């Protein structure tokens, strides 16, 4: 197989899995309410299971326990008032200190990120509506798609070869440009102008940071994918790492940017 053929060998499974995820995820985002909340709780549980399994592959029972604890805690946090919800988002990380046999600091950090980001997506859907969550998802998706194609078509200098050998500066920059175009389109129809385009680029960067952080974690533990649940994409963490970064950034920065006060 030639180098060019290897570059595109994962395209078909990625496309098929991607279409299925867009349709399924889009339906759940559109439905909102309990459907979306339960989906996010299960998704966070699945990612916590992958994280524990990736860090300690021989401790399968403990990985299942951590996934179950995470899913239950996210569900409780979603249905409780905000102040009461916060401790439940950190309980799985603290439980990991006792249950995980190794790399506890890695588990603590990533597990907290997963649960906080999942909670942020639910709050965004519940408080700001379908359109704004769809915007975040669109930014993350176009960042990934533009980066994938630009990186393979243009190539050039690598972004951080020791951590993510396939990422290039061309792909990284293309992701920012694609996100800005989404922001310009949303800004035009929402009346928010270039402010939303700038926030879109920042979310694109945050999604790439989430991707890089997950790649660094996999390098450290010596695995290629977080699991093999999704053909062409690897595991849940491999597919949703960018969404975690973007959601977490928006959860932290949304209020003081005034974004949603203007939009509301």
Domain locations along the chain = 9-263
Q: How confident is the model at residue 262 (pLDDT cuts 50, 70, 90)?
A: very low
Q: Is the pLDDT of residue 68 over 90?
A: yes
Average pLDDT over residues 33-39: 95
- Global confidence as pTM: 0.86
Q: What percent of the chain has pLDDT over 70?
A: 89
Q: How confident is the model at residue 257 (pLDDT cuts 50, 70, 90)?
A: low
Q: How confident is the model at residue 179 (pLDDT cuts 50, 70, 90)?
A: very high
DSSP the chain: --HHHHHTTTHHHHHHHHHHHHHHHHHHHHH-HHHHHHHHHHHHHHHHHHHHHHH-TT-HHHHHHHHHHHHHHHHHHHHS-HHHHHHHHHHHHHHHHHH-SS-HHHHHHHHHHHHHHHHHHHHHHHHH-HHHHHHHHHHHHHHHHHHHHHHHHT--SEEETTTEEEEEHHHHHHHHHHHHHHHHHHHHHHT-THHHHHHHHHHHHHHHHHHHHHHHHHHHHT-SSS-SSBTTTBSHHHHHHHHHHHHHHHHHHHHHHTHHHHH-
Mind listing the pLDDT tens digit for each residue in 90-145? 999 999 988 887 888 899 999 999 999 999 999 999 988 899 999 999 999 999 98
Whole-number Å distance between alpha carbons of 55 and 62? 11
């Amino acid at each position: 197989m030639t180098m060019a053929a290897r570059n595109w060998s994962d395209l078909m499974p990625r496309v098929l899995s991607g279409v299925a995820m867009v349709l399924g995820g889009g339906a759940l985002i559109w439905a909102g309410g309990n459907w979306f909340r339960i989906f996010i709780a299960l998704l966070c549980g699945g990612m916590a299971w992958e994280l524990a399994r990736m860090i300690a592959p021989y401790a399968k029972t403990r990985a299942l326990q951590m996934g179950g604890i995470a899913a239950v805690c996210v569900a409780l946090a979603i249905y409780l008032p905000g102040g009461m919800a916060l401790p439940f988002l950190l309980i799985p990380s603290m439980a990991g200190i006792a249950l995980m046999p190794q790399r506890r600091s890695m588990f603590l950090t990533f597990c907290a990120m997963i649960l906080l980001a999942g909670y942020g997506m639910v709050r965004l859907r519940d408080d700001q509506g379908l359109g704004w969550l769809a915007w975040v998802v669109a930014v993350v998706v176009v960042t990934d798609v533009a980066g994938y194609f630009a990186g393979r078509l243009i190539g050039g200098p690598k972004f951080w070869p020791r951590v993510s050998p396939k990422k290039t500066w061309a792909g990284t920059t293309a992701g920012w440009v694609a996100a800005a175009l989404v922001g310009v389109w949303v800004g035009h129809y929402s009346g928010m102008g270039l402010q939303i385009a700038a926030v879109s680029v920042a979310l694109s960067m945050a999604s790439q940071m989430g991707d890089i952080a997950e790649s660094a974690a996999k390098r450290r533990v010596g695995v290629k994918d977080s699991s093999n649940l999704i053909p062409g994409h690897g595991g849940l963490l491999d597919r949703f790492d960018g969404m975690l970064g973007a959601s977490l950034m928006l959860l932290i920065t949304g209020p003081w940017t005034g974004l949603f006060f203007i939009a509301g």
